[in-house]
Amino acid sequence: MSADPTQVLAFETDCHIFDGCGFPAPGLHSFLFKPLWGDGDSNLYFNKTMLLALVGSIIIVGFFWAAFRKPKVVPGKLQMVAESGYDFIRRGVVYETMGKKEGEKWVPLIVSLFFFVWMMNLWSVIPVAQFPVTAIISYPAVLALLVYVTWISLTFKRHGWSGFWKNVTGFDKSLGPVAYLAAVIELFSNLLVRPFTHAVRLFANMFAGHTLILLFTIASWYLLNGVGIAYAGVSFIMTLVMTAFELFIQALQAYVFVLLTVTYLQGAVAEHH
């Protein structure tokens, strides 16, 4: 039976060093949330992470709608910020990897993925929310599945049935007997390992980052008693340092996720000889 996050939180906030209680280290219970609606024992419920994902999506759509609903030749501050973000992904990621001709049609998808992932990561450092949605594996997994299905479909569409397998395996007769071994390795890597690592890379970074921030935050409060106050100050400084570092990681992981996506799409349209 899983721990009740409310009870765990109450224990953490009441516990200090020298009070006779152990250090309430963060664990899996820190990633569990009671349903806001529905029954947690069933598959029909709505919890905090779902709410954050929904609100985050609304924020992103609202931001770009407000920025571009009345575009101007000389952009205002909001339009300029939106254009800068859009252009950064379009030119710095899509065009650089796929070229303008092949990449233009994919810009809306890649821009949407980048800002969605970034927003889901940012919830970790936003007061009240204070949790990265992508630290729950199901969210990165669904995004990686979306990319995977798009890549598979595009490869089939561009190269046909036989061309698809040649693209995925990279089979090259000139390699001799080694070509068959290399083809099996490439097949395993592309069809099985690729979607797994695409999802886990994002999930693991957000999970680890949130755990570290929780660790130092709880330690700051736990040590806030007697001579432990000096150590609490050090822990609090580490909390600030880790939060600042997490801001960098959040943007970086969103960038890496879409960069890999574009790399996969570029591989789908590339000709293999």
**For residues 240-265, average pLDDT:** 96
Domain that holds residue 198: 30-269
Any domain includes 230? yes
21 located within any domain: no
Closest CA to 52 of 114, 113, 126, 2: 126
Specify whether the CB–CB gap between 123 and 131 falls below 8 A: yes
How does pLDDT run across 131-152, given as a tens digit for each residue? Answer: 999 999 999 999 999 999 999 9
- For residue 248, pLDDT over 60 is answered with yes
| Radius of gyration (C-alpha) of the chain in whole angstroms | 23
Number of domains composing the chain: 1
Question: What local confidence, expressed as pLDDT, does residue 272 receive?
Answer: 58
Position 168 in a domain: yes
**pLDDT (tens digit, 9 = 90+) per residue, 40-69?**
677 788 999 999 999 999 999 999 999 999
Contact 5, 24 (CB under 8 A): no
Q: Distance (Å, rounded) from C-alpha 87 to C-alpha 125?
A: 26
On the question of pLDDT at 273 being above 60, the answer is no
- Evaluate whether residue 76 is within a structural domain: yes
pLDDT tens for each residue of 207-237 = 999 999 999 999 998 888 877 888 899 999 9
Read off the pLDDT of each residue in 157-176 and give the average, rounded to a whole number. 86
The model carries a pTM of 0.89
Q: Tell me the two tokens of residue 175.
A: 């390699």
Contact 170/272 with Cβ under 8 angstroms? yes
Residue 12 lies in a domain: no
pLDDT of residue 4: 42
Q: What is the mean pLDDT of residues 181-208?
A: 94
Residue 15, in any domain of the structure = no
Residue 4 lies in a domain: no
Q: How far apart are CA 7 and CA 81, in angstroms?
A: 42
- Residue 161 within a domain: yes
